[in-house]
Amino acid sequence: MTDQNVTEPEPPLPPVELVRPGLWSIPVPIPNNPLRYVLVYAFETEQGPYLIDAGWNTDDAYHTLVDGLGTAGFDIEDVKGVLVTHIHPDHYGLAGRIREASGAWVGLHPADAALIEDRYDEPDDLLEKIGAMLRRDGAPPEEILTLQNASMPARNWVWAVVPDVLVEDGDKPDIPGWDLTAIWTPGHSPGHICLYEAGHKLMLSGDHVLPRITPNISFHPQAGPDPLGDFLASLDKVATFDTAEALPAHEHRFADLPGRVAELKGHHQARFEEVVVAIRSGSTTAWDIASHMTWSRPWEQIQGWMRRAAAGETLAHLRYLQKQGIVDEIDGEPAEWHVVDLATRA
């Protein structure tokens, strides 16, 4: 009989790996998160290493990254650049601390760079917009304040820093000896980028394409008008590259990038159908529609930021379907959604 009070220890992080000659994968822990770690990639050059992503700004994450670089034969002071795939704390949080230690440049897409002040420096206006969005979604009034502030603790794990380099779609980042091209892939964040390394046919896919889980694509005040439409178009974009292996920021490397893209598109098609069924069954607010969709656990067990993210994902699907003329919304607080009569679409 198992002791109910015994907590199973977490499995160890994956090892630091030499992925290709001169390219290292360094797992960096994420605190209190089922993803457990972000994979930071280090490109060797004669000048020193260049990093893709950074990790959360915790002492544990920082020292794990330092130790990982040591395994690759470098000190943190050797880092010359940190190219961040997107602005979320597990990718961007340590970038400022690394720059402080090494003088490295920090690179980010302009669309994410534009979010830094509202997200990390002056969040009060953003919090008000999130509260208004939740009321419009039909969230229960007694939950709104908790949901509104659910992501605030993450600010403690970010060393907010203005990027030194803005990386646009099609740019060739200055990482000597490597043939990298930035691919703008908005959706998970407005400025998310993937990086294609032509010499080894590698796609560093950030959070855009993961091997097992689907990235969170939410509608929220910093997401743009149609984040899911942006995401689906960006999936098609990366699928056209001749890729031998994808190197994501979480989980593990995988070979069949076009196949995984097809799976993700199929997943969202199934979600569209769920949304329409929920509306036809009587759900009219984004919140109620979300409560009738399929998640990894029952709706009643989803709390805090995860519940807000689920509602945001639902709203992203609604906005996409609205753009396609399949559903429409009646303005109000809360707003109500309905399926468009096919006869009115002729």
**How do the domains of the chain map onto residue ranges?**
17-119+153-266
Q: What is the pLDDT of residue 7?
A: 43
Q: Is the pLDDT of residue 6 over 50?
A: no
Q: Residue 16, Cβ neighbours under 10 Å: how many?
A: 18
Which tokens is 198 given?
């032509």
Mean pLDDT of 321-329: 97
pLDDT band at 146 (very low <50, low <70, confident <90, very high): confident
Mean pLDDT of 136-150: 86
pLDDT tens track for 330-339:
999 999 999 9
Q: Domain 17-119+153-266 adopts which CATH fold?
A: Metallo-beta-lactamase; Chain A (3.60.15)
Mean of pLDDT over the chain: 92
Q: Which segments of 80-221 are extended strands (E)?
A: 81-83, 105-108, 165-166, 180-184, 193-197, 202-206
Mean pLDDT of 130-143: 90
Q: What is the pTM of this model?
A: 0.93
H-type helices in 114-205, by residue range?
A: 116, 124-137, 141-148
Share of the chain above pLDDT 90, in %: 80
Rounded Cα distance between 120 and 114, Å, is 11
Q: What is the pLDDT of residue 4?
A: 40
Does residue 313 contact residue 218 with C-beta atoms inside 8 Å?
A: yes
Q: What is the pLDDT of residue 156?
A: 76
Share of the chain above pLDDT 70, in %: 94
Q: What is the pLDDT of residue 157?
A: 79
Q: What is the pLDDT of residue 130?
A: 87
DSSP state of 250: S
- Cα Rg, the chain, nearest whole Å: 21
Q: What is the pLDDT of residue 1?
A: 30
Q: Which segments of 46-102 are extended strands (E)?
A: 50-52, 81-83
